[in-house]
Amino acid sequence: NRSGPSGNTYHSSGVVNTALNVTDDKKVKEISAANSSVLDVGGIYGNLEPPSPIRIAEFPEYIISNIDKVEHEFGLLEGVQQKHPWTVAEEEYNRKKNRFRNMYPYDHCRVVLPKLPGDHHSDYYNASFILNERDVRAYIASQAPNKASVDDFWRLIWEQNVQTIVMLANLYEDTKERCLQYWPKEENEMQSFGYINVTWTKTQHFADYVIRTLSVERGGTIREVKQLHFKEWPDKDVPDSAMCLVEFARHCKLIHFKKKTPLLIHCSAGIGRTGTFIGLLSMMDVLQSKEYIDIFAFVNKMRENRVNMIQTKKQYRYLHTCLYEFHLTRDCQISAQILSRFKIHDNKAAILREFELLSEVEMSKTNDSLKTRGTTDSLARGNSTDSLETGGSMKTEHAPRDRFGNMVPTGRRKVFMLSSSPVTLITTSMLPSSSYEKKDAFITTQSPLPNTIEDFWRMIYDHKCHTVVMLNQLDKSDKDSVTAVWFI
């Protein structure tokens, strides 16, 4: 520990490189001991030891068996807040450029801008260089710009030759501004930020995110910048599923592939969601190239370069869930060109294995033995009420309305209906599903029963469904079988 110039105490911890490629357990124990010796924690977590590196071949089973221990691991990180001085960020002239108190870049790793003529304070923006798993400055963790800093934000992008921006916040969340819009209001419009001109040239929409192409011009030189905006991540919380962020991360890597300039990532403060996503990108690389993975050590290393990277236990748990699902599904993608030449009869074993992987993920949602440590939605959010509801009061209440008790959608994904009723009805047998490019593009549902056909039509009316696709035949011999939906 050492005292800073303002009397604050900073806790400095050296961190072992997490790009582990060791082969013997003795070395793993040495690394674990080194991590333990550098952490300064106390209180309820003072008698806990940091986790050892995990052999990647054993990673899926480790996550399933130990997911509840992850929150205790996070407690070891919570014991330390500010580790290094941030004197530049606290200067009076720079305070208006910061969105939040005590969420500043450290002096030793802040992104320093060239000073403007006659302005000695113009080298500051709230952004930090973050090392990847190979100790390369691959990322810039940034605060979302405000009115006082938006011109500096674009100067940072230009000076660092940023070609890809990842935005993890929305402009407004809970009625509060979380990010000033730093691109033009409309597509094909140009807006100036100081001496930098930005034109929004193209938009691609996907279910959970949007990609904007921006043309950035300064002094006659034009560069293209891609902005990947993930829209489904609540502040200090996590998305509804892990796979949506994993797919977003894959797309981000594809766009940024082979680019040698840093990837800029921001949420609102540039700490919680930003830290989680950087952890995901880096640890995805480790899972693909190393023998061991140490998520805890990497997060600890990130916090050496920016305060409180990954802000909550839920985000830390969610990171593990995303990595679990990425590891399970990393060999399941093929290009459209290869698909056109794909021969099913020669690849039956691979197709069957993919289906088995789906079953593994689904089992973790429904198996009672994994109820508190299952993966995907409930594991990611740390909330068992989001798992498939195969028991409890909801099932009992709606049992006469469900054809199959073991096919009930998750708590967060039920379809709500409002028409012709003084109260909101949650129907347990109707589930919204996204397409590749549109959120909640489909509603999947059971065939209506005699006592639910009115609800079926209310759902169609409330959600403005123009098309109904029916995939089964009527069985007139079964009074509880498919009811004809075209009349009541």
What's the domain count of the chain? 3
| Spacing of C-alpha 234 from chain mean position | 10
Asked if residue 102 belongs to a domain, the reply is: yes
Q: Has residue 162 got a pLDDT over 80?
A: yes
For the stretch 308-326, pLDDT in tens is 999 999 999 999 999 999 9
Q: Are 476 and 483 in contact (CB under 8 A)?
A: no
Average pLDDT of span 474-479: 73
DSSP helix/strand/coil, 1: coil
Of the listed ranges 50-54, 249-253, 451-455, the least confidently predicted one is 451-455
**What tokens appear for 1 in the block?**
């520990």
User: Which of 289, 312, 329 is at the close of a domain?
Assistant: 329
Asked if residue 117 belongs to a domain, the reply is: yes
Residues 103 and 169 in one domain: yes
**What tokens appear for 113 in the block?**
């801008």
- Identify the DSSP state of 43: G
Q: How many residues does the chain have?
A: 488
CATH of the domain at 420: 3.90.190.10
Burial 116-143 (b: 16+ CB within 10 A, else e): eeeeeebbbbbbbbbbbbeeeebbbbbb
DSSP helix/strand/coil, 176: strand
Average pLDDT of span 470-483: 73
Confidence label for 235 from pLDDT (cuts 50, 70 and 90): confident
Q: Is 486 exposed, middle or buried (0-12, 13-18, 19+ CB in 10 A)?
A: exposed
Residues 124 and 146 in one domain: yes
For the stretch 359-415, pLDDT in tens is 776 655 543 333 333 444 545 555 433 433 444 334 555 567 777 766 666 555 566
Residues 279 and 375 in one domain: no
Give the number of other Cβ atoms within 10 Å of residue 186's Cβ. Answer: 8
Q: Is 359 exposed, middle or buried (0-12, 13-18, 19+ CB in 10 A)?
A: exposed
pLDDT of the residue at 89: 97
Give the number of other Cβ atoms within 10 Å of residue 357's Cβ. Answer: 15
User: Which of 291, 314, 329 is at the close of a domain?
Assistant: 329
For the stretch 253-285, pLDDT in tens is 999 998 999 999 999 999 999 999 999 999 999
Asked if residue 24 belongs to a domain, the reply is: no
Q: The domain containing residue 486 runs over which residues?
A: 391-488
Confidence label for 204 from pLDDT (cuts 50, 70 and 90): very high
Confidence label for 45 from pLDDT (cuts 50, 70 and 90): very low
**What tokens appear for 455 in the block?**
């609800």
Of the listed ranges 113-127, 154-168, 335-349, the least confidently predicted one is 335-349
- d(Cα 84, Cα 101) in Å, to the nearest integer? 15
Q: At residue 54, what are phi and psi to the nearest 5 degrees? A: -105, 130
Residues 234 and 148 in one domain: yes
Q: Has residue 178 got a pLDDT over 80?
A: yes
Residues 443 and 342 in one domain: no
Residues 356 and 426 in one domain: no
Annotated catalytic, 465? Answer: no
Residues 353 and 414 in one domain: no
Asked if residue 455 belongs to a domain, the reply is: yes
Instruction: Name the percent of the chain lying above pLDDT 70.
Output: 73
DSSP helix/strand/coil, 442: strand
For the stretch 420-476, pLDDT in tens is 554 444 454 566 677 788 888 888 888 888 888 888 888 888 888 999 998 888 777
Q: Has residue 81 got a pLDDT over 90?
A: no
For the chain, the average pLDDT equals 81
**What tokens appear for 213 in the block?**
């192409």
Asked if residue 12 belongs to a domain, the reply is: no
What string of H, E and C letters represents the secondary structure of 71-119?
HHHHHHHHCCCCCCCCCCCCCHHHHHHCCCCCCCCCCCCECCCCCECCE
Asked if residue 71 belongs to a domain, the reply is: no
Asked if residue 450 belongs to a domain, the reply is: yes
Q: Has residue 11 got a pLDDT over 50?
A: no
Residues 306 and 196 in one domain: yes
Asked if residue 23 belongs to a domain, the reply is: no
Residues 108 and 173 in one domain: yes
| Per annotation, catalytic residue among 244, 252, 267, 322 | 267
Q: What is the pTM of this model?
A: 0.80
Residues 302 and 182 in one domain: yes
pLDDT of the residue at 452: 83
Residues 416 and 354 in one domain: no
Confidence label for 47 from pLDDT (cuts 50, 70 and 90): low
Confidence label for 352 from pLDDT (cuts 50, 70 and 90): confident
- d(Cα 286, Cα 270) in Å, to the nearest integer? 23
Of the listed ranges 2-16, 201-215, 332-346, 450-464, the least confidently predicted one is 2-16
| Spacing of C-alpha 193 from chain mean position | 29
Q: Has residue 217 got a pLDDT over 60?
A: yes
Residues 295 and 162 in one domain: yes
